[in-house]
Structure 1
Amino acid sequence: MQTPDLKQPDLPAIPNKRYFTIGEVSVLCEIKTHVLRYWEQEFEQINPVKRNNRRYYQQQEVLLLRQIKSLLYEQGYTISGAKHWFTSQQGSDENFRYKELLRQTISELESILVTLKKR
């Protein structure tokens, strides 16, 4: 199976912060908020913290949402196919931990790149 492009240069860099509101995630992923809420119901991997009736996403969830977007909109997967892709990719705990570490590293590098571009 083909791995989605985690870089996605056409999307804004993810700032180095712990939590993002649904509005911020919508901008970062270029996805409407109602689509994000729908994907939460469909993909168990997306589970934002909910406080005072607000959603707060972490960086890893933003990366997962970008991955879902790539699978659905760029690679032509169906929702069912994308779920299956995640299930097959997360089959082994070691593989999953490696991918999480990779996602965090990419996020940190994107943040560094944004900082360097400002200089």
Structure 2
Amino acid sequence: MKHSPMPLFTPPTAMFDVWKVGMMGMELWSSSLSTIAMRQQLWQTQPFFSPSMMRENQRMVTEKIEASIEAGLVMQKAFFSAMSGQYAPWWITSQKAMKPYHRRSSANSRRLSR
């Protein structure tokens, strides 16, 4: 099993990575709020049994499950790496764990705003 090299722990690199995690969290928060608002508008303006709403609801649930599985695998990989002596700092692990949610939330926000 090949391990990735140890991350750099120099203060400027670490601070930049911490800043990136914060920005990713803010982007995830804002895109999630806009996606929720747009989906609520769809639920209020279209019948829940229409084919388009059924597809949207199914897509929403499927994406959440997929993102949860991906994030869980990232956390599991980080745990097993830590158990084998390959330490990754929290800011790198959290960025990797948020990435599946961030990617899907941003894509949904763009798609629903059209």
> TM-score by structure 2 length?
0.29
Greater Rg by CA? 2
More strand by share: 1
TM-score (normalised: structure 1)? 0.29
Greater relative contact order (Cα 8 A, min sep 6): structure 1 or 2?
A: 2
